[in-house]
């Protein structure tokens, strides 16, 4: 992508958030990294993920999620971390995978302006109908595939919103 197209997109920093940061949010992180790289915006859009629970800090994503994501071309190498209040200063858009994490992020937000950065992942769906991104941790293969379907759709919708300057 040439620099003219990059200059039409304002620099944007995105944080994806789920509970443990080992399934949904690192998958969203990997999918969005892939999409941003493909369209040549890796220098304009930066992406990270975190969890509202820190019990998995430092761990790679769940092996089952890595396996299912790799089949679709996404290599998930993010190491889990817990979301912090400083993330509200570092990121422009903070995306929760479900209502539980959405509410936790509101409790962590240090200000009303910080709260305005919080969205639900399903806010960006364009093809699939879902009110949350389900936690596939206790589901079988179909649960991981369903999550990846939802995340691919929502990441595309989020990217379109950024490109159209809706966010």
Grade residue 62 by pLDDT with cuts at 50, 70 and 90: very high
At 159, list the tokens: 């990217």
Separation CA 94–CA 49 (nearest Å): 9
pLDDT at 5 over 80: no
Convert the pLDDT of each residue in 14-53 to its tens digit. Answer: 999 999 999 999 999 999 999 999 999 999 999 999 999 9
Which domains occur in the chain, in start order? 13-163 (3.40.50.2300)
Separation CA 7–CA 136 (nearest Å): 38
Burial (CB < 10 A; 0-12, 13-18, 19+), residue 145, is middle
Counting residues of the chain whose pLDDT is more than 70, the rounded percentage is 95
First to last CA, the chain: 21
How many CB atoms are located within 10 Å of the residue 132 CB?
17
Q: Is the dihedral of CA 134, 121, 49, 36 positive or negative?
A: positive
Average of per-residue pLDDT across 138-160: 96
Active site residue 18: yes
Grade residue 7 by pLDDT with cuts at 50, 70 and 90: low
Q: Which of 62, 135, 153, 155 is catalytic?
A: 135
Q: Which of 18, 98, 120, 155 is catalytic?
A: 18
Counting residues of the chain whose pLDDT is more than 90, the rounded percentage is 88
At 91, list the tokens: 């990121």
Q: Which of 24, 29, 153, 155 is catalytic?
A: 24
Convert the pLDDT of each residue in 82-121 to its tens digit. Answer: 999 999 999 999 999 999 999 999 999 999 999 999 999 9
Active site residue 24: yes
Quote the DSSP letter at residue 82: B
Give the model's pLDDT for residue 137: 87
Give the model's pLDDT for residue 2: 43
Active site residue 146: no
Average predicted confidence (pLDDT) for the chain: 94
């Amino acid at each position: 992508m040439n620099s003219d197209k990059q200059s039409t997109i304002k620099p944007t920093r995105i944080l994806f958030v789920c509970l443990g940061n080992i399934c949904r949010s690192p998958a969203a992180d990997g999918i969005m990294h892939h999409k941003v790289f493909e369209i040549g915006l890796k220098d304009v859009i930066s992406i990270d993920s975190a969890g509202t629970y820190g019990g998995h800090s430092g761990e790679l994503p769940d092996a089952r999620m890595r396996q299912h994501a790799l089949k679709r071309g996404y290599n998930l190498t993010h190491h889990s971390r817990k979301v912090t209040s400083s993330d509200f200063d570092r990121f422009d858009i903070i995306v929760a995978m479900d209502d539980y994490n959405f509410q936790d992020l509101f409790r962590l937000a240090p200000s009303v302006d910080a709260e305005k950065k919080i969205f639900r992942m399903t806010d960006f769906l364009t093809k699939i109908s879902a009110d949350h991104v389900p936690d596939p941790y206790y589901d079988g293969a179909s649960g991981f595939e369903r999550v990846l379907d939802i995340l691919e759709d929502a990441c595309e919708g989020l990217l379109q919103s950024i490109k159209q300057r809706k966010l």
